[in-house]
Amino acid sequence: MVTNVVTGKTKICGLIGDPIEHTVSPAMHNAAFKALGLDFLYLPFQVKSADLGKAVGGLRALNITGVNVTIPHKVAVIPLLDALDPLAERIGAVNTIVNKEGQLTGSNTDAEGFIKALQEHGVAPKDKNTIVLGAGGAARAAAYALAGQGARLTILNRRLELDWARTLARKLEKDFPQKVRVLELDEKNLEKALGEAELLVNATSVGMSPNREATPVPARLLRGGLTVFDIVYNPIKTRLLAEAEAAGARTIGGVEMLVWQGALAFEKWTGQKAPLDLMRREAVKALEGYED
């Protein structure tokens, strides 16, 4: 329950997406606003694809301070905005909008949040052989962030959508000096790529609740010396993370990226430094509530 007191001066932020029933962002942001004594409120708005244009017009009309954008609107929202920051433009996806006097600017804090989470765990991607699984929205953000830091990338995607991965690789090679390898996501290619890799990033939705028994990588291929970053955050400890830990690999969970992307959005809306530890505690508490 939101306990922040709402007044006529309260600034409204929120989330637009569909579905949004399981979002933990309101818990994270409202706790952070309250802790810092900010007169802000964060609300979830379920927006169907057919209504996206009207919803974005509504952000201006209702003087909403800013929103996060989630599935399925991260790409479709772009032509409806007034400006994009350079990273969001390159990635071709927006997860945060700031409204300055009716001017809507889109940015991508998923990419920056991903890198912050890596750095916080002492992982520097420069010149590291890095595998990215997937070529969807989150994979694009992670791959751009990694290439920007000088990682050597191999992208594995399932055969049906291998062209997505090829398109992403071509874009990355245009923007960065490194070559990007693309392979079909199967056990043989995984084994080959993992033999040379130091960092493995799961940016597919494999293992996400309710399919918790699923994993994108067979346990026998995991080993010590590898860092495994699973950006899936529900459940908090995915099967991939549990098996990587058991194999002696270093692990980073999706909650870290979730908290950082939220913190960076919070800072854009409020101009204040986000209370990261509090936001992490609130996100974990909300996720644990969903796991019951």
By annotation, the residues acting in catalysis are 74
Span from 52-60, 219-227, 231-239, 263-271 in contact with ligand NAP (CB under 6 A): 231-239
Rounded to the nearest whole angstrom, what is the least distance from the CB of residue 209 to ligand NAP in the complex? Answer: 9
State yes or no: residue 257 binds ligand NAP (CB under 6 A): yes
Nearer Cβ to ligand NAP, position 67 or 232? 232
Q: Which of residues 45-84 bind ligand NAP (CB under 6 A)?
A: 71
Can you state the angle between helices 162-175 and 137-148, rounded to 10 degrees?
30
Residue nearest to ligand NAP (CB): 136
Rounded to the nearest whole angstrom, what is the least distance from the CB of residue 10 to ligand NAP in the complex? Answer: 27
Q: Which of residues 171-200 bind ligand NAP (CB under 6 A)?
A: 185
Nearer Cβ to ligand NAP, position 10 or 209? 209
Nearer Cβ to ligand NAP, position 249 or 265? 265
State yes or no: residue 16 binds ligand NAP (CB under 6 A): no
- The residue within the footprint of ligand NAP, chosen from 160, 177, 224, 271 (CB under 6 A), is 160
Nearer Cβ to ligand NAP, position 115 or 257? 257
Rounded to the nearest whole angstrom, what is the least distance from the CB of residue 54 to ligand NAP in the complex? Answer: 23
Strand 96-100 and strand 103-107: the pairing is antiparallel
Where do contacts with ligand NAP occur on this chain (CB under 6 A)? 71, 110, 134-139, 157-158, 160-161, 164, 185, 203-206, 208, 231-233, 254, 257-258, 261
